[in-house]
Amino acid sequence: MSSRRSRSRQSSSGRITDQQIDDLMSKLQSLLHEARLGSHDRASAAKVLQDTCSYIRSLHREVDDLSERLSELLDAAGVSSDQAACIRSLFM
């Protein structure tokens, strides 16, 4: 379904949008450029790093949480090969 492939999900369940990722990436990259040029705005660098750490931690938590939920689902029903093919096509 094309709606599932939409690149931008609503953040209602805490899902990160591509825009947020792009913003974070450009911040990280500009930070990298600043470091190479030698100029170093300490305040913003610290903030970007802090946000990055928070984000990575939340992603780790999501992996843990989804692992548990998937485990419960596998217990109840399996993933059939039809569903697997469907998932692959949705995901690409």
Partner 1 sequence: MESKSSTTGNRDNPNRNLHGSKTMMASHFLRALFRIQQTSTSSSSAGRSRRIRRAAYASMAYSAGTRRAWSRALLRKLRSRARLRFPRRLSRAATPQRRDMDQAQVLRKLVPGGPSMDDCKLLEETADYIRFLTTQVRLMQTVMDSVSS
- Binding positions for partner 1, rule: CB under 8 A: 4, 15-16, 21, 24-25, 28-29, 31-32, 35-36, 42, 45-46, 49-50, 52-57, 59-64, 66-75, 77-79, 83-84, 86-88, 90-92
Q: Which residues make Cβ contacts (< 8 Å) with residue 52, sequence separation at least 6?
A: 24, 28
**CB closer to partner 1, 4 vs 39:** 4
**CB closer to partner 1, 2 vs 15:** 15
